[in-house]
Amino acid sequence: MNFDTANARVDFRAPATQGASEVALFVAAQLQANRLHFQSSYTFGCKSRGVFDDLFAAAESAREAGWDGYGAEPVSQDAYDYAYRFLESLPLGTPSPVVTAEPDGQLAFEWYASPYRTLSVSVSREGDLHYSALFGPSNARGTEVFLGEAPKPILDLIRRVHAA
Helix/strand/coil for 9: coil
Binding of another protein by 130 (CB under 8 A): yes
Nearest to 63 by CA among 46, 53, 47, 78: 78
Stretch that binds another protein, among 7-15, 37-45, 81-89, 121-129 (CB under 8 A): 121-129
7 binds another protein (CB under 8 A): no
Say if CB 129 and CB 111 are below 8 A apart.
no
Q: How far is the CB of 160 from another protein (least distance, A)?
A: 15
**How far apart are alpha carbons 61 and 19 in whole angstroms?**
41
Query: Rule CB under 8 A: is residue 156 a binding residue for another protein?
Result: no
Q: In degrees to the nearest 10, what's the CA dihedral of 148, 152, 158, 162?
A: 130
89: left (phi over 0), alpha (psi -120 to 50) or beta: alpha
Q: Residue 53 is inside which H or E element, if any?
A: helix 51-61
CB-CB contact of 105 with 68 (8 Å): no
88 binds another protein (CB under 8 A): no
Position 158 contacts another protein (CB under 8 A): no
C-beta closer to another protein: residue 42 or 70: 70
- Binding track over 48-67 against another protein, x by CB under 8 A: ----------x--x--x-xx
Q: Which of 23, 43, 115, 163 binds another protein (CB under 8 A)?
A: 115
Contact set with another protein (CB under 8 A): 58, 61, 64, 66-73, 98-104, 106, 108, 110, 112, 115-116, 118, 120, 122, 124, 128, 130-132, 134, 139, 141-143
